[in-house]
Amino acid sequence: MKIALGQFAVRPDWQDNAAICLDLIARADAGGARLLVLPEGILARDIADPDLVRRAAQPLDGPFMTRMLEATRDRALTLVMTVHVPADQGKVWNIQVALRGGRIVAQYRKLHLYDAFSMQESVNVVPGDEVPPLLEVDGLRFGMMTCYDLRFPELARRLAVDGADALLVPAAWVKGPLKEHHWEVLATARALDNTCYVVAVGECGPRNIGASMVVDPLGVAIARAAEQDALLYAELDPRRLAQARQALPVLANRRFARPELA
């Protein structure tokens, strides 16, 4: 199964970002990808204005999403990304959505908010309270995670136990000492922990690292991007998945129960 990772620097104007997304959709579809994953929070971003994510938020039937839905209507492509959607008390949800055939086929509200390394995502964002669903694309099952979720192995394990063959991780991974190392180690660990593919797509630009990557079920990075805009392709192979789980049956050998949301 051919997938695409669309890495780009999110602009402050949602219309600019919509144009970038539409271009990536068209290119990924023309390249034969069945799944395109974009970064986290792609409606609007400005490093000098962290509250922009709240002011720029749009409902799922707003103009940004309407354009994305229309772009998928006549394409054999599933699109995954995260957007900020208005919630109560002037805050927003950070929602990962999957679009196919002109409709939303799955969505997930980010559970773990990035209140770490001197940042406070919870100032503007309300955390979700449900375990993500599995998204099926061409017979493969994908678990939905978002950015900081990558640091919580319980969520990845829960999705793998629920049947995920791969984990989708749209992200806006902030630069800083050792942060690229953390990103690579955590993506690799989640793949090995659960013998699954990890598709980790980062925003690039002045604040975030980019460094999108696909890690296979035995911890091998099979595709990588650097720090600039990129459209990256990779192949997910069910035979590789079966081989990994036969050679390294950690899911079958585990002694702990299925993780539950507190």
Q: How confident is the model over 205-243, as pLDDT tens digits?
A: 999 999 999 999 999 999 999 999 999 999 999 999 999
How many other C-beta atoms are found inside a 10 Å radius of the C-beta of residue 246?
10
- Among the listed residues 21, 70, 91, 110, the single catalytic one is 110
Query: Which residue among the candidates 21, 147, 196, 204 is catalytic per the annotation?
Result: 147
For 92-105, what is the mean pLDDT?
Answer: 98
| 94, 81 contact by CB (below 8 A) | no
Phi, psi of 81 (to 5 degrees): -165, 175
pLDDT band at 47 (very low <50, low <70, confident <90, very high): confident
Comparing C-alpha atoms, which of 195, 35, 176, 206 is closest to residue 114?
A: 176
110 catalytic? Reply is yes
Which CATH homologous superfamily contains domain 2-253?
Answer: Carbon-nitrogen hydrolase (3.60.110.10)
Measured CA to CA, the distance from residue 77 to residue 220 in angstroms comes to 26
The answer to whether 135 and 121 are in contact (CB under 8 A) is no
pLDDT tens digits for 122-162? 999 999 999 999 999 999 999 999 999 999 999 999 999 99
Among 40, 121, 203, 204, the active-site one is 40
pLDDT exceeding 70 applies to what percent of the chain?
Answer: 100
pTM given for the model: 0.98
Q: Is 179 a catalytic residue?
A: no
111-128 burial code (b ≥16 CB/10 A, e <16): bbbbeeeeeebeebbbeb
